[in-house]
Every structure is written in C-alpha cells, then in structure tokens.
Structure 1
Amino acid sequence: MRLLSPRIQYLQRPARCTQIRASSRYSNPAKRSFAGAPAQSPSFAEPSFASISGSSLEGSAEDGAREPVGARAAYEAWEEKRQYHLRRMRFAGMGLLMSIFGLAALVYNLDLDEMEQAEQKRKGQQLDAGEDSNKHFQGKEVEIIGAGEDKRIVAREPGGEVELVETGTSSVPLFPRTIYLPTSPESVPIDAAGAVDATQPNAAGNPGNIENQEEYTLLGLGIRSVSFLNIQVYVVGMYVRTQDISALQEKLIHVINERASTLIPSEKEELKKRLLDPQASREIWAELLKVPGLKTAWRIAPTRNTDFGHLRDGWITGINNRMREAKQIAQGAETKYDSEEFGKAIGEFKGIFKGGKAPKGSVMILSRGPTGTLDIWFQAKSGASGQKSMQRLGSVNDERISRLIWMGYMAGDKVSSEPARKGVAEGCVTFAGRPIGSAESRVV
C-alpha cells in the first residue's frame, strides 16, 4: 500500500479547469519546440514529501500565473471574432438596403411603353409618330403630313387642327406648337368648379377665335430628369405670346448687335453660346424678363404619375438655388429676396399646391403676365370622352416668384433641365435669325 500511496494522492487531487484557447499551441511557431527532460519510466518508489510538495506547489504557482493571461487572450480573440461578424452583418445589411432601393428605383423608372416599343423594334416593326403610342394627342387623332425635315404632325379636331412637335420620349411623345391661355382670369367664363368653359370661343374645342384667349408659340422644350439614374420626371416647354415675338426678336438681336435687324450665322453662334453660359445667360434673361408687355409660359407634362407636392418641391429647389446665387453675387449684402414680403409670397406659392395628383397625361401650365404675376393652370388627363377643361389653381402677384422660377430653368450654373435650356436657346437663335417683325413663327 505504501507503494501505491503516491498514485492515490495523484488521483485524489482536485481537477484543474483548463482554459479554452483560441488556437492550438501547435499553431504557434514559438511553442513548437519542446525542451523538456526526457520521459522517465514510472517509479513505484515512494518519493519524499519535499519532492511531492515542491512539485505540487510549483505546478499550482505556474497555473495561477498562466490562467489570467489565457483568459484575457481568449476574451480578446472572442471580441475580435465578434467584431468581424458584426462588420459582415453591417455590410450585408447595407447591401440588402441598396438592393431594395435600386429595385424600387428600377420599378419606378420602368416604362411599359418603351418596353413595348423595344419589343416591336426587335421584331423588325418600324416605329414613328404614327404608332399606337403616338396616334392620339389629348383624345384627338394624329396625322403625319409629308416626311423628313418637312414632316408635319397635326391633330385633327372639329374646330381645326393643332400642329405638334416630337419631344424625344415615348412617355410624352408630342407637344403642341401653339397653345391658348386666357388674357386674364376675369375675362374667361369660369364655372362654379373653377374650370374654363370649353364651349366658349377659343376654348380647347374651338381654337380659332382669340377673342377671349391669346395664342402662345413654342420657343423650345426639353426633358427634366433627376438622380444619377436619369429618371424622367416631365417634359417642359417654354412658350411666348405670339404677338410678343417681335419684341423678343429685337431684344435677342440687340444682345449681339444693336444696329442689326437680324443675325448672321456667326452672330447666331455667339448668341447661343451666351444663352448657355451660366453668367451671360443670367444677364440676358434678367433683361428679357423686363421687356414691357412680354408674356411667357411653361407647359409641364409629367412622364409618369406624380403629384403637386413633387412638382412644387422641384420649383422651390430652383428658387433656392437662384436666391443662393444672388447672395453670392451680393457678397453678404442684403438682397431683394430677404424681405418678409417675399417670404409670404413663397408661402402663397406653396399653398397653391396642397394635395392633388398629376398623373401621366395631365398638363400643368405656369404663365407670367406683363407685370410678373404668376398664374398656375392644371388640365387633367384626357379620357375617352375627350379633352378635359383647364382649371386655374391660383396666382402669386409677387413678380420675384415667377422671375426665380424662369431663371431656374434658363440661367445660372445648375438649371432645372439642361435639355430645356438648350432647346429654348436654339429657339431663341431661330427667332433672332429672322428679320424683326417677320410673320414666320415656326420653331425648327
């Protein structure tokens, strides 16, 4: 039994808790070499008490010194692994959100008409303004006369015909070359619902009589797009009252040559360059908007379903951009847009667009009167029963509102629609290339 006593003592010792290490000691090059004593055969001789107690104390001291270090290393390894997985979860979450937003933008920007046309092109079918998507304009049948550059597109109706121009997008393929707007809200018969009576002279169904409405001629148009995806929002075109074309011609010609009655090709190129230059365009349009009696208008046709709030926010953004430019030019001095009255005018403008939907096929018109008064008109989407009547949503008398909206499209660094600015600039050059007072008003 004495010989077995060391063995019994070893078995009766309490078991020590081993630390869970992140990696094996064999994975550490520093621990691969073992410099211990060679293994000895077991001895059944009873060791001395000093040797037993000494080895036990030495082992306990060594374990006590190594255990805290091992626990800290294990915690650090666990924390590093946890942070690694957290980072992966964050990246995965961001990727999921970006995928959802991208899919939503793709679905929002999806145009079934364009997909149908692409399918028809793939099958070899010829597409032109006379295809199904372009056969009707506001409930009226469309007819193509001629071909090539001399081609004319007209919409037939009982009271005459409306000449149309192509916009470059299948969502809103056609724009009228001329429109008719009331001379003033008081001079137009309006029913209890605030709609213009279509049975009156020169209304939508009878466009030949200008007794109570005035004719406006298209100056140029373009497409407004947003975001890096170039999502089309609406097609916008600028119109000028037909009887004011001569005044506009004279002003544009005198920008380049004060003694000329028309511009030569080199002068037309110079005019176009200035109209597209941020600084020069700001100066030109600031003077054009001061021309006495000049009346202009913007016609907006949404390319997809939207609402008044989205349209209003775009115009407010343009107003803020032009106000910021004015403050930069003033170099800290007070501008005419810092007054309390202008703030109230902004509130009036926002209040006009409370609620309301603007679906694809509807039309919004912003007209600027001789004194700068802004009138807002809306025409609902035409149905099977024919063209809807035009409703007046409201007006803002402060001319600074209409001025900043017009400048937001035509002047400065960042305009609301660069294609619209280019289209209007080309129209201005076309008008300036004709003699002042010329009866020709067609925009090429």
Structure 2
Amino acid sequence: MRLLSPRLQCLSKPSVVRQTRCISSRYSNATKRTVATAPSSSSPLLEQLSAGAGARNPLDARAARIQYEEQKAHNLQRMRIAGMGLMLSVGGLVMILYNLDLDSIEQAENKRRGGQQLDASDEANARFQGKEVHVIGAGDGKRIIASGAGEQVELVETGTSSVPHFPRTMYLPSSSASTAATVVPGVVGVAQPNDDANPGNTANEEEYTLVGLGIRTVMWIQVYVVGMYVRTQDITTLQAKLVRHVNPTASALIPSEKEDLKKKLLDPEESRAIWAELLKVPGIKTAFRISPTRSTNFSHLRDGFVSGINNRTGEARALTQGGATEYDSEEFGRSVQDLKAIFKGSNAPKGSVLVLSRDERGALDVLYQPKPDQGGKEMERLGSLLDERVSRLLWFGYLAGAKVSSQGAREGVVNGCMEFVERPVGSVETMVH
C-alpha cells in the first residue's frame, strides 16, 4: 500500500502542469494553446482530483492518526456539551417541581373552565387559624375578615396561596425578654419547640399593627412570608420620627416630601442611618412575623438570620475602612452563638408562625406557634437575648443596607411608612382603634 501512495499523490496533483508543457510547444497554434490551458469541465475525474488536492491522504498513517485525534476531540466536546445540557434540564425540572404551586394551578384551571369564583377558592384560603374567611366588598375597598369563636380578625393578602393571609393586628406578650420572669442570666431559652415546659402566652398582651410584608425567596423559590409590626401605641412615635426626619416642623408630609423619604428608605446608606435612629433605645416596640411557605426547619432559618447579621457587620467594617466596630467584641460573638442556640433541632411546618419581637430596650424575644390552623398550642417563648446589637442587625437585615433578606418585604414596609406619614401625627393610631 505504501508503494501506491506516491502514485496516488501524483494523480492528485492538478493536471495544469501537463497542460503547461503542451502550451510551451513552439509548434502549437495560439488559438489552440488558449483552449488547451482551460481545464475540461466535462471530465468528472479531473474535478474530483482537483477537489481532493488539499485533502489528507487516507493511506498516510500520520494523516490518519491526526484525523482520528481531531474527530475524537470533536466528539468529546459534543459529549460534554450534551452532558451539561442534560444536567441543566434535569436540575431545572427538579426546581420547577419543587416550587410548583398546585393551589395556583387549580385556581387558574377553575377560572379557565369558567367556574364560579368564591370568596376563598381553596381550603387554605377559606380558613385562618381555625376561623372562616369572608371577603367584604371588592377592589381597593375590599376587606378580608376571619370570624369565629366570638371574635373577628382583619386579614391582609400576602400574594402567595401557600400562606394566603397575615393578620392586620396581632397580640404579643407585654413582658419582654428584659422583664420576663422566666429569663435567667446566662440561660438563652426556657423552652424548645413543642416542649411542655413553656405554658405560652395567655394574658397580659399588647396589640401590634402591620406596617408591611413581603416574601423571602432564594433564587426563585419562596421560603417564607415576613411582615413587620409595630406596637399600636408606638405608631404615633414612629410617625413623628419619620416626618421630622424630612421636615422638622410638619405634622404630615406633602407628596414631594414623601418621595424624598421613600428614596432615602430604599437607599443603602440613607436607610441605615434612618433605621438606626428609629431603633434607638429606649424606643418603640417592633416585631417580625414569619410564616414558612413550605416545610422547613430551624437550622435553615437560623442560617439565614446569621447570614444577615454577618452581612451587616461586614458593611459596618467597610464604613470604618477596616477600623474597629462595636461588633468586634467577644461579648457580641457570644450573643450570636446564643442566638444560634435558640434555633435547634425542630421542624417548622408550612404555615407555622415564628415571631421575632424587639422591645423598647432592644431585647429580643423569639416566639413560636407550630400549628395555628389546627388548634395547636398557644404561642410559646423559645428564648431571649438581651444584647441590643443582635436584634438591631436582624432588623437591618430586612430594612437597611445594600442587600436585604427580602426586597419585597423592604418595599412593603416602606410603602406602609408612606401611608403613615401622609396622615397627621397621631391619626393612624386612632384609626386602628
């Protein structure tokens, strides 16, 4: 086969060489010479040889090896791309199935079929903490009321069918971490979730009013609904501080002043300064109500809280350009470890309620109710922390800084503050009552 290789290479050369030799003959006619130089288009063999002039010789071992390696690399690259596409497809399918909201699909299907839309389209929307839900009116003036056991609760829609409603007002123990008789110095908590050691909250309560709410998402997966509440009797103080931050002599803000305040509350730097002023101690009582949209556990919630604290301490160090901050002490580090110790070893089912309450001294109470819709236990205190810095950074994690835990909740709280400042100071508290 190797002896044939030179012959094949010779045949593969263009035939123009042999034609040139004929053209150089002195006996040839000029007209014929011109015709002879043109390759014959009627010969398929010449066309095939001309086309294959630049191709590798299939009988050359080195050329064959190079061609094999190139083909192998091409196939491996295609296999890698196909494998990556398969992994992305499977991962996307898993994420979609995990985040699939069957309730919304059922509602959409009922609408498509032209079925009658009731006040509550499914069982989750039809009841709130054991009470029947009724919708009164429509449009912007619509009211949602849960009634039962001789009491009524006004509700607010959350935007997700997993946890469809939050209460407009809620009641929390008036005794905070700093005054609770069950708090022992050096001991973080008095009861773990579902533990009978804590009798819960049965009396001596204070009313809190919803400021705003939103949904925390990780990537595009809904994790929980979170809403900020302020003690109703402190609304006037909150109003006054917000209004006087923009106009020290006003009792309410005009539209241009409202827009100025809104931009500041959404700005990373300005928002930190405003909320630091609003959360000064002694001050107002506030709380965050958290309800998971799917079953989770305290470890996941704890990791999110600690991550928010770390982000805020990092921002504080950046502001001091690497200098010392109030969060660099060992005492603060122990307080963060105490916070971690509160959240351990229990699941947080869908629809359960976790409350982070901050009193006028900045002390943190962690309250929990596992199954409010099934006649479960009353809300119980899981633990308390007296270090004001921990609760302040937790609040900053939702309200201030460049990256908050829930942008929807931040915007919801800001919109709620705008409703406060557009009314005269003291009028909102009166309207709640």
TM bracket, shorter-chain basis: 0.7 to 0.9
| Map of 1:143 onto structure 2 | 134
1:232-381 paired onto structure 2 within 5 Å: 232-381=222-371
Q: After alignment, is 101-110 or 144-153 more displaced?
A: 144-153
1:317 partner SS = helix
Q: Does 1:406 align with 2:398?
A: no
State the Cα distance separating 1:29 from its structure 2 match.
9.3
Q: Normalising by structure 2, report the TM-score.
A: 0.79
Go from structure 1 to structure 2 and tell me whether the alpha carbon gap of 1:255 and 1:75 turns closer, same or farther (over 3 Å shift): same
Q: After alignment, is 425-434 or 278-287 more displaced?
A: 425-434
Q: After alignment, is 151-160 or 274-283 more displaced?
A: 151-160
1:181-192 paired onto structure 2 within 5 Å: 181-182=172-173, 183-184=175-176, 186=180
Q: CA RMSD in A?
A: 3.1
1:360 partner SS = coil
Q: Does 1:74 align with 2:64?
A: yes
Go from structure 1 to structure 2 and tell me whether the alpha carbon gap of 1:78 and 1:323 turns closer, same or farther (over 3 Å shift): same
1:155-234 paired onto structure 2 within 5 Å: 155-182=146-173, 183-184=175-176, 186=180, 193-197=196-200, 200-201=202-203, 212-227=204-219, 230-234=220-224
* CA distance in 2: counterparts of 1:195 and 1:441, whole angstroms: 35
1:389-428 paired onto structure 2 within 5 Å: 389-428=378-417
1:412 partner SS = coil
Go from structure 1 to structure 2 and tell me whether the alpha carbon gap of 1:222 and 1:184 turns closer, same or farther (over 3 Å shift): same
State the Cα distance separating 1:343 from its structure 2 match.
2.0
Go from structure 1 to structure 2 and tell me whether the alpha carbon gap of 1:252 and 1:196 turns closer, same or farther (over 3 Å shift): farther
State the Cα distance separating 1:218 from its structure 2 match.
0.5
**Structure with higher RCO (Cα < 8 A, 6+ apart):** 2
Q: After alignment, is 402-411 or 431-440 more displaced?
A: 431-440
Q: Normalising by structure 1, report the TM-score.
A: 0.77
| Map of 1:107 onto structure 2 | 97
State the Cα distance separating 1:399 from its structure 2 match.
1.7
Q: Would you say the 8 A contact 2:288–2:356 is kept in 1? A: yes
* CA distance in 2: counterparts of 1:137 and 1:341, whole angstroms: 42
Go from structure 1 to structure 2 and tell me whether the alpha carbon gap of 1:396 and 1:425 turns closer, same or farther (over 3 Å shift): same
Q: In the alignment, residue 193 of structure 1 is paired with which amino acid?
A: D
Q: Would you say the 8 A contact 2:128–2:373 is kept in 1? A: no
Identity %: 58
* CA distance in 1: counterparts of 2:396 and 2:224, whole angstroms: 18
* CA distance in 2: counterparts of 1:157 and 1:413, whole angstroms: 43
Q: Would you say the 8 A contact 1:237–1:420 is kept in 2? A: yes
Deviations 1:311-351 (A, max 9, x none): 22222222222222212211121222222222222222222
* CA distance in 2: counterparts of 1:157 and 1:427, whole angstroms: 28
The structure whose Rg is larger is: 1
1:354 partner SS = coil
| Map of 1:120 onto structure 2 | 110
Q: In the alignment, residue 184 of structure 1 is paired with which amino acid?
A: S
| Map of 1:90 onto structure 2 | 80
1:153 partner SS = strand
* CA distance in 1: counterparts of 2:341 and 2:196, whole angstroms: 19
State the Cα distance separating 1:367 from its structure 2 match.
1.0
Q: In the alignment, residue 403 of structure 1 is paired with which amino acid?
A: R
* CA distance in 1: counterparts of 2:250 and 2:362, whole angstroms: 29
Go from structure 1 to structure 2 and tell me whether the alpha carbon gap of 1:367 and 1:441 turns closer, same or farther (over 3 Å shift): farther
2:412 partner SS = helix
State the Cα distance separating 1:31 from its structure 2 match.
5.0
State the Cα distance separating 1:383 from its structure 2 match.
5.0
Q: Given the alignment, which residue of 369, 372, 377 partners 1:388?
A: 377
State the Cα distance separating 1:309 from its structure 2 match.
2.0
* CA distance in 1: counterparts of 2:3 and 2:197, whole angstroms: 87
Deviations 1:199-249 (A, max 9, x none): x33xxxxxxxxxx1111110111111221xx22211110001111111111
Q: Would you say the 8 A contact 2:176–2:363 is kept in 1? A: no
1:214 partner SS = strand
Q: Which runs of 5+ in 2 are unaligned?
A: 19-58, 183-189
* CA distance in 2: counterparts of 1:151 and 1:176, whole angstroms: 15
2:357 partner SS = strand
2:427 partner SS = coil
* CA distance in 2: counterparts of 1:431 and 1:404, whole angstroms: 24
Q: Would you say the 8 A contact 1:194–1:392 is kept in 2? A: no
2:120 partner SS = coil
Q: Would you say the 8 A contact 1:167–1:222 is kept in 2? A: yes
Go from structure 1 to structure 2 and tell me whether the alpha carbon gap of 1:32 and 1:427 turns closer, same or farther (over 3 Å shift): same
* CA distance in 1: counterparts of 2:214 and 2:390, whole angstroms: 22
